[in-house]
Amino acid sequence: MKINVFRTESFCTCIVKGPLEIDTDKYPELEGMNEEQVKEYISENLWEMKPTEEDSWYNSLGDELRDEDIVKEKFSDEDNGILFD
C-alpha cells in the first residue's frame, strides 16, 4: 500500500495601520456622542465618513486609514497538521 502524506502549515497575519488622529469637532455627525459612541460610530461608518483633511484626495476616512503606514505586524494562530490523499 502507498499513501501520500502532506504537511500543512497555516497562520494568520494581523497588520495594524495608523495611527490616524481624528478631530471629532470636524465631524458634525459625532456631536454629542461620548467616546464609546464615537468609536462605535467610526467602526460602523468608516467608509462613509469624510477624510481628515478637506482637500484630501482620499474618498473616505477608511481609504485614508488603509493607506497609513504599518506600525505593527503580528503572526498568530500558527497551526501544523498532516493530510492524507
CA 17 to chain CA centroid, Å, is 7
Contact 10, 73 (CB under 8 A): no
The pLDDT, as a whole number, for residue 46 is 93
Within 10 angstroms of residue 64's Cβ, the number of other Cβ atoms is 21
The pLDDT, as a whole number, for residue 84 is 67
pLDDT, tens digit, for every residue of 37-78? 999 999 999 999 999 988 888 999 999 988 877 777 777 767
pLDDT, tens digit, for every residue of 1-36? 999 999 888 888 878 887 889 999 999 999 999 999
Is the entire prediction scored with pTM above 0.85?
no
Grid look-up 456631536 returns: 31
